[in-house]
Amino acid sequence: MRILVLLRDQSPNGITTYNRIVAEHLRHQGHVVDVWPPAPGWRRALPLHRWSVPLLSGAVKGFQPDLIFISHYTQAELAASLSQQLGVPWVACMHNGHSPARMAQWKALFGSAAGVVTMCENLHQKYSQLIGASRPSVLLSRLPIAAPLLAPRGQGPLTLAYCSRMSGQKGPRCAAWLRAVASLPEAQEFKVRVIGGGSYLPQLKSLAQELKLAVEFTGLVPDASPYLADVDVMTGAGYALMEGMVRGASAVALGFAGCWGAVTAENFHRAVAVNFGDHCDTPLPEDAQALAAALQQAIALRRGDGAERLTALARQHFDAPTVVSELADYFQALR
């Protein structure tokens, strides 16, 4: 297959990470994939909006894609217009829910889509209900991750980490996490790390000083991998949490809805169903006390065999070659 991936931009986030991994493994499996924009800055020269169809249609026709794959509404409008003009089917990948007004707009666009891909059970239910019995079909997929080799674990102090963008809603969440860590009986014995940058970072640094907590702040980094290998307890959601779990860390799920809690082998699939607290129908606790309780459970799991069992599950469930192969089979069936 020849697949054209249309992105809003190449900003470092979960959606661009997902599309990079998908494109890489589709190529490994023998497919031809072109990603637009190919590099940061390209979008400024040629924005990917529906009004740019006259400028893009020739290039799209020249690539001769069998399918167009999008993840944002603006690019969905473009894909729908290109599909109408060139006859190329398009598929939407839904990473999030939206406001009622935006969902109504998506529903109207889905009438011309060949398929819809969702990342967790909660989103699959939402979009299946939105679309109803009409086309397109809705695939329940999952985030793929290329799991690295497991590094041996040392016997020193545990490393607790929070990985996210430090702005918007997530900055205050990190503040609650710092307060939770500081409240633990062994707080001064842990290595504490905050991975990520953003406008809230100065306030977080001031809070760490106020709490008398020694914290390593990495700031914005192009590749978080060097800061993940020794993490014993990871807090976050989506790819950030997954990166910790597949490396051997225990996990505290802290998403947009709040603190879902410690992830265990027993509740793993329930946690995945809501993307670790990102897609819950009701708000979750977000206070330091709730986070501290989840951290204590995750620390106990790391000191026992709970983290090893969780890691084995995560590496199997999010295995990139398997996830992308299932996605390719879905694409083939839509042609």
- State residue 240's pLDDT score: 92
Position 69 scores a pLDDT of 98
Q: Domain-by-domain residue ranges, the chain? A: 2-144+319-334, 159-317
CA-to-CA distance for 32 and 134, rounded, in angstroms? 30
Per-residue confidence (pLDDT) for residue 43, from 0 to 100: 46
Q: What is the pLDDT of residue 55?
A: 80
- Which of 240, 245, 227 lies closest to 17, judged by CA? 240
Mean pLDDT by 10 residues, the chain (335 residues): 92 90 97 86 60 84 96 95 95 94 95 96 96 88 89 83 89 95 96 95 96 95 90 94 95 95 97 95 94 98 93 96 98 93
Cβ contacts of 180-186, under 8 Å, gap ≥ 24: 180/288, 180/289, 180/291, 180/292, 180/295, 181/213, 181/292, 181/295, 182/211, 182/212, 182/213, 183/288, 183/289, 183/292, 184/292, 184/295, 184/296, 184/299
pTM metric for this prediction = 0.92
| Total length of the chain | 335
Which of the listed CATH numbers 3.40.50.150, 3.40.50.2000, 3.40.50.620, 2.40.50.430 matches domain 159-317? 3.40.50.2000
Same fold, 2-144+319-334 and 159-317: yes
The per-residue pLDDT for 46 is 58
Cβ atoms of 198 and 170 closer than 8 Å: yes
What is the fold, at CATH topology level, of the domain defined by 2-144+319-334? Answer: Rossmann fold (3.40.50)
Apex 116 CA angle, 113 and 122, nearest 5: 145
- 259 vs 257: CA distance, rounded Å: 7
What are the two backbone dihedrals, phi and then psi, of residue 292, each rounded to the nearest 5 degrees? -60, -40
Residue 312: other Cβ atoms inside 10 A:
14
